[in-house]
Structure formats: structure tokens, C-alpha cells
Amino acid sequence: MARKKVLVTGGAGFIGGNFVQYMVNKYPDYDIYNLDLLTYAGDLTKHKEIEKKDNYHFVKADIADRDAISALFEKEKFDYVTHFAAESHVDRSITDPEIFVVTNVLGTQVLLDAAKAVGGVTKFVHVSTDEVYGELDFDPTTFFTENTPLQPNSPYSASKASSDMLVRAYHKTFGLPINITRCSNNYGPYQFPEKLIPLTISRVLNDQKIPVYGDGKNIRDWLHILDHCAAIDLVLHEGANGEVYNVGGHNERTNLEVVKTIISILGKSEDFIEFVTDRLGHDKRYAINPTKLEALGWKPTYSFESGIAQTIQWYLDNKGWWEEIISGEYQNYFEKHYAL
């Protein structure tokens, strides 16, 4: 049987990067193509353990570059596409929405066109987010299901919802085989330190203030990255054509609980917590009902307690990776955004 070719867009980022490593190691008979523009959020140093493997390939390209993407699809004739590449940070989308539309909406449409034109793609998995559903209130019995209407509140989630609609349309109109996954907040190794958990870990370790937006009572539903990777692998191979799958493990925590847990594990003082001006349009609560995915056979392997302990240990063991990031261009972003 011919080797399968899998395109992973955004494979130099946090989730795509973990997924590339997961796939390269799990499927030696698949060729994994990591396509990434290497924006501020992408780096290849994370792949030093797999970059020499025969089944790993890297292509530097912009998903919104129609000529480059068409040429790549023509040349490689991918069997599977898993699409992670995106601008992913809500705060940046509030300051500069346009790049979110270009990358997340136009970039997705360019990929869909290439898959449609070349043919042969047996599954296009679009990695989306629960943020497209908008926000829930604090009633703990309410959850996002796949039938919850899309009501995105930030430019980031609006751009993701737009891309979801295009993926759906290419399935309905042109018969492209697709799935859309909508996952809750991820955490784990190689997450860029602009996001809450790695931001907190890195700042606590450096004895710096931790900026908590508003009153810290907003709730997120946290999932360890490796449980997300397993979910996408399952949907890629077993997902029913055209279906949406929510991904989440019932790990709701307030932001303050998350920050205090990290401080406590690291044995530091809660005096480092600094309440700062709230994020504009800050969604109150996200919470996933994962029943549909569980029916496919998925269940998470990490509790929040085991996952956060593993993640903190990883950041302790890999200081070089994040210290390099926070000492570079990111420093300017941080000072401008927080003015702490």
C-alpha cells in the first residue's frame, strides 16, 4: 500500500507542533508535511528530535499564498489535510484584527480551493475552537454542544467561525470530505508564553507579577495538548464525513484557580497576582459537552491536576526554549500590551 501523505498546517506552533511529533512517531508509514510560515508563534527548534526522520518534511509557506499552496498540492497530492495554521491569540486580535481575517479566513479558503482543485484528499480536518460558540453564563449545567449557534465575540473567534463556515460550504457545495473540531483551551509543552498558563509559569519562575484580567472569575475548560492530538487523530481516521466534533475533558477552572494552582505547585507567593484592566469583550465561560467525540471512542488521559503538574515540570526542564522567546520581540509585545 502506498504511504499516506499528511499535510499539517501550522506545525511549528503549539498544537500543530505537538501533533506533528505525535504523528511522525505514531505513523512511521505516513509522510508528515509540516507547512508553516514561521510567524512570531512558530519555531522549528521544537522538532530537533524528529527533523532527521525520513517521514518528516518541512515546507515554509504562507497558507494565504495561492500560488505556493496550489503548487504544493499539485506536487505532493496529499491524502489528508489537518489545518492548524492560524493567528490564535485573542488579545492580538483586539489590537490588530486584519491579519486574523487574512490568515484564518482567506488562508483557509486557499487551502480548501487547493484541496478541491487537486482532488484525492480523503479528509480535511479543520481545527477550530469552542470560542466560535461565544460565551456561556456561570450556570454549571450548561455546555456547548455541536448544535450551539455560532456567536463569536472577539475578532479571533469571528475569524475562526468564518473559516468554519467556509469549510462547511466546501463540503456541502463541492463534496469535499471534511471534519471540523472545536476544542476548549489547551495547555502543555511548547505553548507560547503569551497564553495564560505558560505566561503564569514563566513569570512565577522569574518572580514577576502575573496579570489577571478583571476579577479572575472567568472560566475556561482546560485540555492537555496530548489529549487534543489523540482526538484529532481519531477524527481524521474515524470521523463521519461532514461532521463537527467538540473536544473537551470537563476541566473547568476560574482563571484565578489556575493561577493559584501554578503558584502553589511552584511554592511561590500569591502576592505575585496583579489584577489588571479586563480584556474587551471578555467571554465569561467556556465549557464543552464532548459526548459526540466520546461515542467515537475518545477519552482524555490527563486530569487537570496530572496535566498541569506535567506541564510545569516541562517548563522547568525546558527553560532555554521559553527564555529565548521572552527575551526577544515578545518583550516589546508584553510591555505594550500590559504596561505593568
Task: Show which residues are catalytic.
Answer: 130-131, 156
The answer to whether 160 and 128 are in contact (CB under 8 A) is: yes
Judged by CB, which is closer to ligand TYD: 7, or 263?
A: 263
Q: Please choose, out of 1-9, 213-221, 232-240, 311-319, the segment that lies near ligand TYD by the rule CB under 6 A.
A: 213-221
Query: If binding is defined by CB under 6 A, does position 287 make contact with ligand TYD?
Result: no
- Among ligand NAD, ligand TYD, none, the one that 127 touches (CB under a kind-dependent 5 to 8 A) is ligand NAD
Minimal distance, residue 19 CB to ligand NAD, in Å: 9
Minimal distance, residue 23 CB to ligand TYD, in Å: 24
CA distance 339 to 330: 13
- Size of the chain, expressed as the number of residues it contains: 340
Query: If binding is defined by CB under 6 A, does position 196 make contact with ligand TYD?
Result: yes
CA distance 293 to 136: 21
Query: If binding is defined by CB under 6 A, does position 34 make contact with ligand TYD?
Result: no
Binding mask 120-159 for ligand TYD (x = CB under 6 A): ----------------------------------------
- Among ligand TYD, ligand NAD, none, the one that 39 touches (CB under a kind-dependent 5 to 8 A) is ligand NAD
Name residues contacting ligand TYD, limited to 156-185 (CB under 6 A): 185
CA distance 42 to 117: 28
Judged by CB, which is closer to ligand NAD: 33, or 271?
A: 33
Given its phi and psi angles, is residue 295 left (phi above 0), alpha (psi -120 to 50 degrees) or beta?
Answer: alpha
CA distance 91 to 131: 13
Q: Please pick, from the candidates 90, 110, 236, 247, the single residue that binds ligand TYD as defined by CB under 6 A.
A: 90
- Among ligand TYD, ligand NAD, none, the one that 218 touches (CB under a kind-dependent 5 to 8 A) is ligand TYD
Query: If binding is defined by CB under 6 A, does position 198 make contact with ligand TYD?
Result: no
C-alpha to C-alpha distances, 237 to 178, 222, 241, 282, 308, nearest whole angstrom: 11, 24, 10, 35, 29
Instruction: Name the residue type at position 3.
Output: R
> Residue 254, class by beta-carbon neighbours within 10 Å (0-12 exposed, 13-18 middle, 19+ buried)?
middle
Judged by CB, which is closer to ligand NAD: 38, or 150?
A: 38
Residue 246, phi then psi, degrees to nearest 5: -80, 145
Name residues contacting ligand TYD, limited to 224-283 (CB under 6 A): 255, 279
Identify the CA nearest to 294 among candidates 171, 146, 150. 146
User: Contact positions toward ligand NAD, by CB under 6 A?
Assistant: 9-10, 12-16, 36-39, 41-42, 62-64, 84-86, 88, 103, 107, 127, 129, 160, 183, 185-186, 192
> DSSP string covering 278-321, please?
PPTT---B--B--HHHHTTT---S--HHHHHHHHHHHHHHTHHH
